[in-house]
Amino acid sequence: HKLSVMAMSSAATTAPSVDKVDGFSRKSVRKARQKRAQSSSQFRSQDKPIELVQLPLLKDVSAQEQPELFLKKLQQCCTLFDFMETLSDLKMKEYKRSSLNELVDYVTLSRGYLTEQTYPEVVKMVSCNIFRTLPPSDSNEFDPEEDEPTLEASWPHLQLVYEFFIRFLESQEFQPSVAKKYIDQKFVLQLLELFDSEDPRERDCLKTVLHRIYGKFLGLRAFIRKQINNIFLCFVYETEHFNGVAELLEILGSIINGFALPLKAEHKQFLVKVLLPLHTVRSLSLFHAQLAYCIVQFLEKDPTLTEPVIRGLLKFWPKTCSQKEVMFLGELEEILDVIEPTQFVKIQELLFKQIARCVSSPHFQVAERALYYWNNEYIMSLIEENSSVILPIMFASLYRISKEHWNPAISALIYNVLKAFMEMNSALFDELAANYKSDRQRERKKDKEREDLWRKLEELELRRGVQNSDGVIPT
Amino acid sequence: MAGADSDDSLYPIAVLIDELRNEDVQLRLNSIKKLSTIALALGVERTRTELLPFLTDTIYDEDEVLLALAEQLGNFTMLVGGPEYVHCLLPPLESLATVEETVVRDKAVESLRKISHEHSPVDLEVHFEPLVKRLASGDWFTSRTSACGLFSVCYPRVSSTVKAEIRQHFRTLCSDDTPMVRRAAASKLGEFAKVLELEYVKSDIISLFTALASDEQDSVRLLAVEAGVSIATLLPQEDLEALVMPTLRQAAEDKSWRVRYMVADKFSDLQKAVGPEITKNDLVPAFQNLLKDCEAEVRAAAANKVKEFCENLPEDSRETIIMTHILPCVKELVSDTNQHVKSALASVIMGLSTILGKDNTIEHLLPLFLAQLKDECPEVRLNIISNLDCVNEVIGIRQLSQSLLPAIVELAEDAKWRVRLAIIEYMPLLAGQLGVEFFDEKLNSLCMAWLVDHVYAIREAATCNLMKLVEKFGAEWAQNTIVPKVLGMANDPNYLHRMTTLFCINALSEVCGQEITTKHMLPVVFKMSNDQVANVRFNVAKSLQKIGPVLDSNCLQTEVKPVLEKLASDQDMDVKYFAQEAISGEFCNCCSRVLCNFAKTKVSNPKRYSLSKLRLCHAPLKRLVLTRPHISTSLCGNISIMPPKCSRKERRRGFSNRSNVEAAMSDRRCVFQCESKSTLFGLPEVDARARERARERERARESESFPTSKGRYISIKACQHILLHQIHKIMIFKKASYDPFKLKN
C-alpha cells in the first residue's frame, strides 16, 4: 500500500463503469477531455476577492526609489490567484501579470539593483509561486502519442515567474555566495519535486533553472545528484510514475560530460545501479534517447565501463516488449559505435548470443534492427576481426531463419549477412554449414534427455509421495 | 528417508544441479522450482553443506530465478534438518534481501519472517538478530529497506539489551536520508509499535511518528497516517489527545492531497481507534472538511466512508451529528461535479436510512436518492439501485414503488444497451428484495420485454436473468408465469424471437426440472425442428444436446434420438453438423455433472474426498464454470480451466479430451481421463470386445467405489448419470497405481 494513492485514481476510473466498457466511444470521449487544464491543489475556497494596491511603474520613479519599489513589487507578486475560476479577479490577475513582466525587464536591464536584502525577497516570491502540491494525475497511463498533456492553468503567471528567476540566476550581478543562504537544499528538493509536473512547458523551465543552479552552486552539486538518484530509484522500483525523467536525464547528460577523470566510485555506482535499471521501466520510450546519451557519455569518459554496461543491458533485455527491444538494439549500436576493440573482445560472446536471438525474432522490426548492424562499417570491422568467435554463434540462427522467416525483406537481409560471413571466412562457413544438421540433431537429443530427466524426477517424487503418505493404498 | 535412495535416483539430481547453471533462464527456473526435491534427495546434511553454499554463491541471477529461490527457501526448514538448523538458511536469504528488485526483496523478507518463528530464542540472538543489524546498517538502501520489515518479528523474543539495540536501529532508519528507507520504516512503524512495551511506545514511537508525519516528502507522511491509526489503538484513552491527536489533526489538513486522501481512506479505522469523545470533538469537523476537499480524489474517498462513519458515531449524539453536520455536506456531494465522487456516495448513501429511521429517511434522504436516481451518470443510478434493500427495510415497499420504480423502468429502457445490460444484472437481486408479488405486478413485463430486445447481448442476458429468477422463485412459479410466455414466442413470425425461445429453454430446463422440461418444453422443441429457417433447426439440435442431461434415458432413446437423426439428414449443412454433434456430444454434459457432484462432495465433506485435476472436454467445463455458476458458485470458484492442447477445430468437433481442470487443491490428486467420443446413447461403434468390457463394467457399477484419503471407500452413486465406460481411466496420484475398473487385467 505504498503509494496506494497513485493506484487509487486508476481504481476510480477503471471500476466497471457502464460508459467505459463500450469500446467504440472511448477514443472520442478521450479526445473531448483533452486540453484540460489543471491547477495546483492548494486552493481551498477563497471567499473574498483579492485587492492589490496599484504601484507606480519602476521606470517612472527615480533611481534611488527603484530598489524599494522593486521589493514592494516582489512582495505583491507573492499573491496567488485561482486560475480555475476563470472569471474571478480578472483585473488583479492582469495587474500581477504586468508587474511580473516589469520585474523580468528590470532584472535583465538594470544594474546595481541586487542588494543583499533583495535575495531573500526574490527567493520568497519564486517559492510562493512555483512550489505547490501537484494535483492528482488524470491519465493513469500517459501515452505521448495519444494523449495531450494536461496543462497548468496558472501558466500566464507561472511562466513569467520562471523567466524572472532564470534571468535573476543568469544576471551578471548574481552572487552565488550570497544566494546560497536562500537557495538551499530544501529549495532544491522542492524544485526537484516539481519535475513531476505534467506540463512540458513548466518542465522545460525547471530544466533550465536546475541547470543554472547546478552550475553556480558548487556546494549543492552532490546533493542534487543524490536527490536525482532517489527520484530515479523510487521511479524504477516503487511508482513507475514520474513525468520529468527525460528532463532530469538531459541535465545529467551535461553533468556527466563534466565529470573529472578518473571517475569516482560514486559516479560508477550511479551508472550501474541507477541508470541501467532505468531500462526496465515500462515507459522507457519517453526518455530513452536521453538515457542512451547519458550511457554513451559515460563510456566515452571511461571505456572500461563497457563490459558492466553491456552486461546490464543484457540482464534487463526485454522479454516480451518488441518495441523496447528495438530501442535496446538502437542503444547497443550507439555503444558499439564508440566501443574499443579490446573491450569488444571481452563481451562479444554474450553480446552476439543476444543478437543471434534478435536476428531470429519473429517480429520483423526487431530482426531488421539487429540486421542493420551489418550496414555499420565499424561494427563490421569488429565482426571481421573476431569472425572465428562470432560466426559460430550467429550461424545457426541465420541459417535457420534464412529459410523460415515470414518476412521477405528479412530473408533478403539475412542472405546478405550470410554472404558477408562467407566472404569473411569461407573455410569456417563451409565447416559450419556441413555440421549444421548434426548439430541440430545433437541439440534435439539433449532436449530429449532433459525431458527424460524431468520425467524421472516426477516419478521419483511420486514414489517419495507414496512413501511419505500414511494412507493405505487399495490395489 | 532421502539417504535410503539408491544411486540411480541421485543421478537426476546431479543433472538438476547442473541445470541450475544452464544458460537458458527458463531451465534454471524449472530447476530452482524443484529445489525441495533436490534437497530431499541430497538429505539434510548435504543440503546444509553443499546445496546452500552453492546457492549463496550463485545468487547473481535473473530476478525471476531469485524470486523463485526466495520463495522456496521460506519452506526449507525441514529440508535442512528442522528448527535447530534453520539458521543455515539465513546467508542466502540475506543476500536476496539486498537485491534491487522489489519483488525479490519482499519475498526474501517474507521468507525471513516466516523462518524467524522457527528459530529458538538463543538462535534468534546468535544468528537472526545480527543479520537484521547487518541489513540495517548496509551501504545501499535496499538492505536497509529490507531490515525495516524484520524488527517486529524478532523483538518480542530477545533479551532486553538486544531489544534496546533493535529500538536504536529502528530509530536510525526512521531518519535515514533516503526516502525509500523512511517509507519502508513508516510503513512498518505501526507493526513495530504493536510488539513494543507501552512505555517505549510512548517514549520512542511517538517521537518517530511525529517526525515521519512531518517528513518533507508526502509519500512518507501518508504512510505515517496508517501507523498513527495503529498507534492510537495501543495507547490508553487519556494519552491520545496529547500524543497522537495533534499530528493526526495536522495530517487531515496536510497540504498534499495524497496525505488527506490517506486520512479519508483510513477514517473508519481512525474513528474506532480514538473512541467516541475525540470523534465528536475532532473527527466530525475533520470529516466535514474532507467531504468538502478541493480534490475529487479526497472527496470520493471520504464519501465512501460516510455510512461507516455515521454507523460508528456514539449512539447518544449520532442523530444530531448526522443531521446537523454530515447531512449538509452529503447534500452538496449529490450534485458534485465529479462523477466518481457521486458514484462513491451513491454506493453508501442508502445505508444511512437504517441509521436515521423512517421519518428522517422520507424527509431528508429520499429527495437525495431521487436526485441520484436521475443523475446523468448511469453508474450513480445503478449504485443506488443495487443497494435498494437497506431502504426497503426502513420505509417499506410502497414508498419505493412510487418513487424508485420509474427510475428502474427508465434505466431498463435506456438508449444505451450497456446500461440496459447493467440493470438486467440487478434484476434477480431486485426480485429478491421486492418479493414475488411485487415482481409479477411491476417488473415481470420488463423482463419479458428484454427477451425481444433488438440487441443480442440483451436477449442473452435476459435469458440468463430468467434462469436466476426461477432459482429464486421456484419451478412452480416458472411454470405459471414465464414458461407459457416463453413458449408462446415459438410461434412468433420473427425467427430471432423463435430462437430466443430455444435459448430460454436451454437456460431453464435444468432449474425447472425434468417434469416441466419433458412435459412442456420438449414438445415445443420438437415442433420447432420443422421450422423453415435453418438457424432455428440447428439451434433445436443444440438445445436437445443441452437439455439431454435433464431428460431420462428412455425419453432420450425413444423421442430425442429420432428427432436428431432426422435433423442429421437435413439438407442444410449446418443443421446436419449440429445434429451429429448433438448425437455424439451428449456426453459432454455428463462430464460437467460429474464435476459438479465431485465439487459438491468435496465441500460438504472436504476431508473425505478431494480432487484437483480432471481431464475432461474443454467445452462442457467452460460451460459449467461460465454459464452455470448458479449450481455451485462457491464450488466452481476453485475451478480454473487450462487451455487444452489441441487446435480450435479439434476442440469444436469434440475430439479433444485433454483439457486440464484444476479443482480444489489438496494433498491427493485424482485424474480422470474420459473418452469424449462416447455418447449418451451408448458406445460409438467400436469393436465388440470394447462393448463387452463396457457391459461388464456396467454390471460392476453398483459395487465400484472411489478410495478416500483414509483408504475407505465412497460410493460412486453420486455420479451415476455418467456411464462408467465413459470414464477411460481414473488415476490417483501420489498413491500407487489404482485401477478401479481392472483395466490392466
Instruction: State the amino acid at position B350 in one-letter form.
Output: M
d(CA B219, CA B249): 18
Residue A41: the pLDDT is: 58
d(CA B254, CA B297): 14
- Sort out which chain B residues have CB atoms less than 8 A from A273's CB and list them: 100, 140
Peptide bond just before A262 cis, omega within 30 deg: yes
Q: Residue B613's beta-bridge partner residues?
A: B662
Q: Residue B662's beta-bridge partner residues?
A: B613, B640
| Letter string b/e over residues B171-182, b meaning 16 or more CB atoms within 10 A of that residue's CB | eebbebebbbbb
Could you tell me which of B416, B333, B334, B429 has the C-alpha nearest to residue B390? B429
Q: Are A294 and A252 in contact (CB under 8 A)?
A: yes
| Nearest residue in B to A227, CA atom | B178
Cβ of A457 within 8 Å of Cβ of B12? The answer is yes
Residue A299: the pLDDT is: 93
Could you tell me which of A234, A210, A118 has the C-alpha nearest to residue A173? A118
d(CA A12, CA A15): 6
d(CA B418, CA A17): 10
- As for the ipTM of the complex, it is 0.80
**Above 80 in pLDDT, residue B731?**
no
d(CA B280, CA B252): 15
- Sort out which chain B residues have CB atoms less than 8 A from A19's CB and list them: 377-379, 418
Q: Are A214 and A176 in contact (CB under 8 A)?
A: no
Instruction: Tell me the nearest-neighbour CA distance from A151 into chain B, angstroms.
Output: 17
C-alpha cell at B489: 414466442
Cβ of B733 within 8 Å of Cβ of A466? The answer is no
**Above 90 in pLDDT, residue B677?**
no
d(CA A280, CA A142): 17
Of B308 and A462, more confident: B308
Q: Residue A37's beta-bridge partner residues?
A: A151
Instruction: Tell me the nearest-neighbour CA distance from A431 into chain B, angstroms.
Output: 25
Cα–Cα distances in angstroms (integers) from residue B197 to residues A150, A375, B121, B163, B329, in the given order: 50, 71, 18, 10, 41
| Nearest residue in B to A228, CA atom | B178
Interface-testing mutation among B340, B607, B703, with chain A (most A C-beta atoms within 10 A)? B340
| Nearest residue in B to A4, CA atom | B262
Max CA pair span of chain B: 92
Cβ of B15 within 8 Å of Cβ of A44? The answer is no
Q: What is the helix, strand, coil percentage profile of chain B, to 5?
A: 75, 5, 25
In sequence order, what are the residues at sequence separation of 6 or more whose Cβ sits closer than 8 angstroms to the Cβ of residue B503?
Answer: B459, B460, B463, B539
Cβ of B294 within 8 Å of Cβ of A18? The answer is no
Other beta carbons within 10 angstroms of residue B690's beta carbon come to: 14
Residue of A12, A44, A277 lying closest to B100 (CB–CB): A277
Q: What are phi and psi of B730, to 5 degrees?
A: -120, 125
- Sort out which chain A residues have CB atoms less than 8 A from B15's CB and list them: 453
Instruction: Tell me the nearest-neighbour CA distance from A230 into chain B, angstroms.
Output: 7
Q: What percent of chain B is modeled with pLDDT above 90? A: 15
Instruction: State the amino acid at position A338 in one-letter form.
Output: V
Q: Are B530 and B565 in contact (CB under 8 A)?
A: no
Instruction: State the amino acid at position A145 in one-letter form.
Output: E
C-alpha cell at A409: 525483406
d(CA B632, CA B602): 12
Interface-testing mutation among B5, B6, B8, B15, with chain A (most A C-beta atoms within 10 A)? B15
| Nearest residue in B to A471, CA atom | B710
Quick check: helix, strand or coil at residue B560?
helix
The pairing of strands B727-732 and B670-674 is antiparallel
Mean pLDDT of chain B: 74
Residue of A5, A277, A464 lying closest to B262 (CB–CB): A5
Residue found under cell 533516503: B178
d(CA B246, CA B255): 16
Q: Is residue B727 exposed (0-12), middle (13-18) or buried (19+ Cβ within 10 Å)?
A: buried
Residue A297: the pLDDT is: 93
Q: DSSP readout, B14-63?
A: HHHHHHTT-S-HHHHHHHHHTHHHHHHHHHHHHIIIIIHHHHHHT--S-H
- Sort out which chain B residues have CB atoms less than 8 A from A461's CB and list them: 37
Interface-testing mutation among B220, B735, B742, with chain A (most A C-beta atoms within 10 A)? B735
Residue B733: the pLDDT is: 28
Cβ of A18 within 8 Å of Cβ of B416? The answer is yes
C-alpha cell at B517: 422440461
Q: Which residues of chain A have pLDDT under 50?
A: 1-35, 45, 469-475
Residue B659: the pLDDT is: 27
Cβ of A472 within 8 Å of Cβ of B738? The answer is no
| Nearest residue in B to A465, CA atom | B734
d(CA A19, CA B414): 13
| Nearest residue in A to B713, CA atom | A474
- Sort out which chain A residues have CB atoms less than 8 A from B340's CB and list them: 12-13
Cβ of A466 within 8 Å of Cβ of B62? The answer is no
**Above 50 in pLDDT, residue B477?**
yes
Residue found under cell 538486544: B162
d(CA A341, CA A348): 10
Residue found under cell 472436504: B606
* Mean pLDDT value of segment B652-662: 31
Q: What percent of chain B is modeled with pLDDT above 70? A: 75
Any idea which of A28-42, B15-29, B98-112, B322-336 has the lowest mean pLDDT?
Answer: A28-42
| Nearest residue in A to B381, CA atom | A18
In sequence order, what are the residues at sequence separation of 6 or more whose Cβ sits closer than 8 angstroms to the Cβ of residue B57?
Answer: none
Cβ of A189 within 8 Å of Cβ of B216? The answer is yes
Cα–Cα distances in angstroms (integers) from residue A355 to residues A333, A368, A390, B524, B698, in the given order: 11, 11, 10, 66, 62
Helix (H) or strand (E) holding B674: strand B670-674
**Above 80 in pLDDT, residue B592?**
no
Instruction: Tell me the nearest-neighbour CA distance from A113 into chain B, angstroms.
Output: 34
Residue B697: the pLDDT is: 55
Q: Are A142 and A107 in contact (CB under 8 A)?
A: no
Q: DSSP readout, B408-422?
A: HHHHHT-SSHHHHHH
Pick the most confident of A87-91, B236-240, B711-715.
Answer: B236-240
Q: Are A331 and A295 in contact (CB under 8 A)?
A: yes
Could you tell me which of A204, A199, A86, A203 has the C-alpha nearest to residue A148? A199
Q: What are phi and psi of B100, to 5 degrees?
A: -70, -40
| Nearest residue in B to A138, CA atom | B297
| Nearest residue in B to A44, CA atom | B294
- Sort out which chain B residues have CB atoms less than 8 A from A8's CB and list them: 261, 265, 297, 301
d(CA A347, CA A326): 20
CB pairs under 8 A between A and B: 133
Instruction: Tell me the nearest-neighbour CA distance from A30 into chain B, angstroms.
Output: 16
d(CA B364, CA B361): 5
Other beta carbons within 10 angstroms of residue A352's beta carbon come to: 21
d(CA B404, CA B353): 15
Residue of B179, B262, B294 lying closest to A234 (CB–CB): B179
Residue A456 CA, chain-centre distance (Å), reads 48
Of A357 and B627, more confident: A357
Residue found under cell 475529487: B296
Residue of A3, A9, A353 lying closest to B219 (CB–CB): A3
* HEC per residue, chain A: CCCHHHHHHHHHHHCCCHHHHCCCCHHHHHHHHCCCEECCCCCCCCCCCCCCCCCCCHHHCCCCCHHHHHHHHHHHCCCCCCCCCCCCCHHHHHHHHHHHHHHHHHHHHCCCCCCCCHHHHHHHHHHHHHCCCCCCCCCCCCCCCCCCCCEECCHHHHHHHHHHHHHHHHCCCCCHHHHCCCCCHHHHHHHHHHCCCCCHHHHHHHHHHHHHHHHHCHHHHHHHHHHHHHHHHHHHHHHCCCCCHHHHHHHHHHHHHCCCCCCCHHHHHHHHHHHHHHHHCCCHHHCHHHHHHHHHHHHHHCHHHHHHHHHHHHHCCCCCCHHHHHHHHHHHHHHHHHCCHHHHHHHHHHHHHHHHHHHCCCCHHHHHHHHHHHHCHHHHHHHHHCHHHHHHHHHHHHHHHHHHCCCHHHHHHHHHHHHHHHHHCHHHHHHHHHHHHHHHHHHHHHHHHHHHHHHHHHHHHHHHHHHHCCCCCCC
C-alpha cell at B535: 438457424
C-alpha cell at A215: 552550475
Cβ of A133 within 8 Å of Cβ of B261? The answer is no
Cβ of A1 within 8 Å of Cβ of B141? The answer is no
Residue A268: the pLDDT is: 93
